Amino acid sequence: MSAHIAFRTSVVALAMHALLFRSAPAVAAIVGGGGSSRVDCLAAFDAPVNAPAAKPRGIRCADGDPACDLDGTVNGVCNFRVSVCANSTFNPAACALNGVRLITVEHAADNGDPKFDPEFQALQTRIDSDIGPYPNNDSDACTTATNFFVAIKGPLKNDKCKRNKKQIRLIAESTLAAGQGTILVDKDKLDLVCDPPVGGCDPGALFTGTYDRVQRQIFNQSCAVSGCHDSNSFVDAGNLLLEASAFPANLINRTPTNADANGLGWKRITQVDPNTGDPDTSFLMHKLTGDLPGSGLGARMPRGRPKLDATLINVMKLWIEAGAPDTGWVSGTD
Amino acid sequence: MAITRRQFLKGGGLVTAGTLFGPGFFGHGLLRSAQAALEDNDRYFVVIFLNGGNDGLNTVVPVDNVAGLRAAYDAARSSINITPTQLANSLIGLDPISGTQLGIHPGFNVPNGYFDNGAGAGGLKSLYDLGKVAVVQGCGYPEYSLSHEEARIIWQTGVPLGAPAGTGWVGRYLAYEYAGNEIPAVNIDDSIVGEFRQTGTSVLAVRDLENFRFPFDDAYSDDDAAKAAAFAALNQSAVSGAQPAALFIGNTGLATYDAAAAFQSLSGLYEGDRAAQSQLYSDVGRSLAYDLRQVASVIYGVEQGVPNVSARFFQVSNGGYDTHSDQGGADPNGQHFSLHAELGGALKVFYDDLASMPGNVANRVCVLVWSEFSRRIVQNQNGTDHGSQGPMFVIGGGVQGGVYGRHPNIEASALDDEGNTTYTQDANSFRSTDFRDVYGTILKHWVNLPPATVQTLLPLDATAEALADPAHYWRSANFDLGFLP
């Protein structure tokens, strides 16, 4: 006998309790996450939702706003905490289902998925540990809260920056018993939006130094991603690991694995002395600009994606010219 | 009659150890059936795989700074560090060479009430205090991989260099020891896991014992008996011939057929006789506890003499250790705390369960805990990335508890280009423990294999690089690490 799988979605929001966060407008609430209200209780989010104001179903926060950014400091990143609940009783009149056979977080597997995010993976682990093993028939079975960090976009030219968004997407499946012979599916979304800080996007305020900016704004966002230069995949990406905790030994004056770059005498980053470097013989620089004479030097980076913003390429250039220091500000990059 | 299969082989003069693995040998039907049901000891072995790469540095933590390890730790772990105060209730022994006081993660000393009804309280720390846990530090191998899949296969096969081996290290032992119509091993999984893969005997992979049965058809249940008889006859016919492939299929088919009837009853037998112990696994309420309860159910069935159940080797796994994000330090709400609480709480319930079975089975069970790698020494913003050497645990009533092996060198200057600790077999104060020495110690001291045979199952590194540089490769085995007598 095969089970019918029904896909239904809905929107419901109801404030439940206000414990976790310091002040209004963020109020911890259970939100269904969208879809048909009849199945919306299979999985729900427990989060300090505040947007849109009339009917909150997501979190929106300016970087550093102590009312909603948990780190409370202007650092280019908003910190949110989100729990997931199974068999929620937040709206029993509409949905009283009790019985979940699986909850899956999208983009939670580091398998080359360009949308993979370790924070989705951490949420999946929480769900597996706190709501699993399945089936779970307990009412309001909730996870411990998981941290999410949303970095603003930028700053780029003239220190301009834009809001950025992370969207958590869940798929919850009911047990056959709960669905009375049918597997019901509840698809949920939660938007986490980080707005630029009220005072603007001065890099000197957002980052601790030039390397911190290079790491967080360039490497973390465009290079150390699934299938590329992260721990799981870097061996197949020129053996170049660009996660924060690997710097600087793998970059400074290291010979690239690319034979042609090696033949040209280039290094990954060429440091002449601690205060001087040479972008022209730094393979990393060529990879970002696309100045790659001959096919043997491989593709421009980030591979298959738009060229890095000119402002960031210039930050990289100035940083390398200054010897790629791991602390302090290089003039022109702050 | 307690004759071992090895004794039988020797007495028969048919083969020597060196030729045991030839396919022709295993294809010999007469020999295979003659080997059936010859058991040579009453011990059990359980492998627990921590999937994702467990952070070794926050699993076994330097507490004091006598050799500079604590200062290096604090420099590397800015926000997920575990303080000496937080480690006060989970101290273990000293690092053997440096004398540094070590502590295990506070999650291993589960507070009473963390799980329902106080189940698992004290966790791994309470077993350590009983002298039943060996903490083996700095386990790794040369030319390490940071890829989950590659590293997992290396640990499962016991072959880090060159082409991947097609068989697992436990599997090679099973194929050496058991015949095709036996089921010496059970994996609580959907398919046979890497370290149990082999081609000589039968391994059962089952997610849920209760529902394990011959695949009858619910829609036509009135002809179940006819289907079963047909399946049995088919396999009987296959084993009556001499064609190796048919023999293999027939033997494994018959083993599966017998197992389907026998294993299904184990859960009910266990629940009926040991309801109180079963409840403790439910109180822990995590998947690892449920999986270990299934292992306990099989062991109990073997102990009770259930026909056609003779499994002695088991594997379970637990995921979630890939803590790039939201790892947490000592906070009980942290992800790593939760994982360690689950492991320690489940093991405590499992150990107590076995210890209270007639004949104190805990003294005859050895549990090995491993992960495919440790994690980066320097943390990232919110967690840790993939690393190299990490600790293993060996747990059991027959284990000589304590700290074995040396803590890796975590000084920034000692790390490699990727920021990870380095593997060395040089006799310096940070010498690594090769994980194959841990496996070999178990094969030699737990299942009592002759050392020469252990070495055959766990071949030394033999690439040109290894031959030229014995200080950085596994060129000299030590199957006497000391955690088993």
In a domain, A328, yes or no: no
Q: Considering only CB atoms, which chain A residues are within 8 Å of B380? A: 243-245
pLDDT attached to residue B13: 25
pLDDT attached to residue B452: 96
Cβ distance of B326 and A122 shorter than 8 Å: yes
CA distance B466 to A333: 47
ipTM: 0.85
pLDDT tens, residue by residue, A175-208: 999 999 999 999 999 999 999 999 999 999 999 9
Assign A112 a pLDDT band (cuts: 50, 70, 90): confident
- State which residue of chain A sits closest to B290, comparing Cα positions: A133
Which residues of chain B have a pLDDT value below 50? 1-40
In a domain, B29, yes or no: no
CA distance A264 to B467: 33
What mean pLDDT value characterizes chain A? 90
**CB of A18 within 8 A of CB of A51?**
no
Q: Considering only CB atoms, which chain A residues are within 8 Å of B319? A: 125, 128
- State which residue of chain A sits closest to B385, comparing Cα positions: A231
For residue B8, give Cα distances in angstroms to A245, A282, B140, B175.
Answer: 56, 67, 37, 15
Same domain, A133 and A256: no
In a domain, B247, yes or no: no
Q: Does A208 touch chain B if contact means CB atoms closer than 8 Å?
A: no
Overall number of domains in chain B: 1
**CB of A194 within 8 A of CB of A63?**
yes
Same domain, A246 and A184: no
The residue type found at A58 is: G
- State which residue of chain A sits closest to B413, comparing Cα positions: A249
- Residue B319 belongs to domain with CATH number: 3.40.720
Of residues A35 and A169, more confidently modeled: A169
In a domain, A45, yes or no: yes
- Tokens 């968004």 sit on residue: A165
Same domain, A53 and A129: yes
Q: How many interchain CB pairs under 8 A, A with B?
A: 96
In a domain, A201, yes or no: no
What's the whole-number mean pLDDT along residues A134-145? 95
Q: Which site among B54, B77, B115, B417 would you substitute to test the A interface, given the most A Cβ atoms closer than 10 Å to its Cβ?
A: B417
| Distant-in-sequence, close-in-space partners of B225: CB < 8 Å, separation ≥ 6 | none
Give the domain-ending residue among A195, A225, A250. Answer: A195
Q: How far is CA B79 from the centre of its chain?
A: 31
First to last CA, chain A: 65
Q: Considering only CB atoms, which chain A residues are within 8 Å of B320? A: 125, 128-129
CA distance A282 to B236: 69
Same domain, A101 and A191: yes
pLDDT attached to residue B336: 97
Q: Is the pLDDT of residue A274 over 60?
A: yes
B338, B377, B380: residue with CB nearest A129: B338
Same domain, A213 and A154: no
Runs of H (alpha helix) within B187-243: 224-239
pTM here is: 0.89
Q: Which site among A119, A125, A211 would you substitute to test the B interface, given the most B Cβ atoms closer than 10 Å to its Cβ?
A: A125
Write out the residue range of the structural domain in which residue B49 sits. Answer: 44-212+285-295+308-472
Write out the residue range of the structural domain in which residue A56 sits. Answer: 4-195
Same domain, A114 and A219: no
Overall number of domains in chain A: 2
Which helix (DSSP H) or strand (DSSP E) does residue B466 occupy? helix B464-468
CB-based burial label for B272 (10 Å; 0-12, 13-18, 19+) = exposed
**CB of A272 within 8 A of CB of A323?**
yes
What's the whole-number mean pLDDT along residues A234-248? 91
In a domain, A202, yes or no: no
Q: Is the pLDDT of residue A15 over 60?
A: no
Same domain, A270 and A165: no
In a domain, A260, yes or no: yes
Peptide bond into A306 cis (omega under 30): no
CA distance A330 to A309: 19
pLDDT attached to residue A7: 34
How many angstroms away from the CA of A78 is the closest CA of chain B? 13
Give the domain-ending residue among A195, A226, A244. Answer: A195
In a domain, B436, yes or no: yes
B324, B377, B379: residue with CB nearest A121: B324
pLDDT above 90 covers a percentage of chain A that reads 83
CB-based burial label for B401 (10 Å; 0-12, 13-18, 19+) = buried
What is the per-residue burial (b if ≥16 Cβ within 10 Å, else e) of B434-473? bbbbbbbbbbbbbbebeeebbbbbbeebeeeebeeeeebb
B326, B378, B415: residue with CB nearest A146: B326
- Which residues on adjacent β-strands are paired with residue A164? A194
Give the domain-ending residue among A139, A164, A195. Answer: A195
In a domain, B57, yes or no: yes
In a domain, A333, yes or no: no
In a domain, A332, yes or no: no
Q: How far is CA B123 from the centre of its chain?
A: 18
CA distance B117 to B115: 6
